Amino acid sequence: MAQKHSTAPDPAAEPKKRRRVGFSGIDAGVDPNGCFKVYLVSREEEVGAPDSFCLDPVDLSHFFEEEDGKIYGYEGLKISVWVSCVSFHSYAEIAFESKSDGGKGITDLNTALKNMFGETLVDNKDDFLQTFSKETQFIRSTVSAGEILKHKHSDDHVNDSVSNLKVGSDVEAVRMLMGDMTAGHLYSRLVPLVLLLVDGSSPIDVTDSSWELYLLIQKTSDQQGNFHDRLLGFAAVYRFYHYPDSSRLRLGQILVLPLYQRKGYGRYLLEVLNNVAIADDVYDFTIEEPVDNLQHLRTCIDVQRLLSFDKVQQAVNSTVSQLKQGKLSKKTYIPRLLPPPSVVEDARKRFKINKKQFLQCWEILVYLGLDPADKSIQDYFSVISNRVRADILGKDSETAGKKVIEVPSDFDPEMSFVMHRAKAGGEANGIQVEDNQNKQEEQLQQLIDERLKDIKLITEKVTRK
């Protein structure tokens, strides 16, 4: 073994730097949203193609909650998943530069993928590619057991005033009841897309016959003249019993596949559900925690329907006349200008719109009856502002009423408070309230501005020609 010999140091040379001993840091993990790519593909040739349709953005962190939303133990990790729009099977490829335990363990990616894609995940790529030819009739054979509810020929169109697009081709809606093996098998293949694309969702119970599955199907044909059915979207609706002899419909999940969004299919599907509610004479039709975009679309549809109802228009005209009379914004108490209860009930019976949704539409209907250039529009804004404040703070929020203040105490904080009544001129008895009023007011004003913006936007869309 060669030995290293030392030499006399050169005083002119720079002093040598002292060697430092370092310790590798704890693995910070990888954000799954940065290393996952999920593609929707309709043909075998699209698998691995650079122009395949990529789902973006998709939040995958909730699939890794046990690991703080991160993936650990990998460098240069890339995961590609392809989901077939023909059979809804999936296939994944995992690539990485290195793998090691950096202090947080190594994430089991195969188990994670199984949790995300379940039984739809195909292990072998060749087997996955064969599903495009072997299961080309999967949707067609499945929906043959369902009930066709509404059909539009390619020469007919459903106008979508929200996206200003039209539904073309041969499109039909099919209803299938859960509890049936065929419907349950189809939904089980759709579960991964539900978990990926529907906010806050969880799979429905496919053994519960109160669940109904509504499928939006497009009829297509290939060059050989063979007919195929393409799934554009679906909705899961629960049918509740309503005393004494009726039922209620509640929309639990709705999804138009990203490949077909912004083409009017979402509106089409909601209109089908509205028609079902009326045809079945249910008590009302509601939506479980709708996201903003869905609520916006729903309100556009309902406002257009209510505009055709004479009883509603008469009530709107009466409220508009009341607004034009006068200076509500200068009054101590601003009325909410609610519709007569009989009109709310008549609208429910005719359109199956519940009271909460009707009141959302009512504010827009009143705005439609006003001239934006008229002075009464300021009174209208005051009514909306007062309503938003009352919904958030309570009906006494506009007056100088009682206030609850947290104070230092040796007792249980949750049981300790001081209640006082504020004087007309300001602070009561010199007690200083925590300085959060300005922040609260800013948040309230933001909600008011958002509501007014939404009212104006819906008004523009329902009046667009």
First-last CA distance in the chain: 91
CB atoms within 10 A of CB 353: 25
CA distance 306 to 437: 39
- Environment class of residue 318 by beta-carbon count within 10 Å: exposed (0-12), middle (13-18) or buried (19+)? middle
Q: Is the dihedral of CA 241, 247, 252, 258 positive or negative?
A: positive
- Environment class of residue 46 by beta-carbon count within 10 Å: exposed (0-12), middle (13-18) or buried (19+)? middle
Per DSSP, 415 falls in state G
For 413, how many CA atoms within 13 A lie in the half-sphere containing its CB? 2
CA distance 220 to 229: 6
3-state SS, one letter per residue, for 41-82: ECCHHHCCCCCCEECCCCCCHHHHHHHCCCECCEECCEEEEE
Q: What are the residue numbers of the active site?
A: 288
Residue with tokens 């010999």: 5
For 105, how many CA atoms within 13 A lie in the half-sphere containing its CB? 8
Instruction: Give me the DSSP letters along 255-290.
Output: EE-GGGTTSSHHHHHHHHHHHHHHHTT-S-EEESS-
Contacts 24+ apart (CB under 8 A), 310-314: 311/343, 311/346, 311/347, 312/339, 312/343, 312/346, 312/347, 312/365
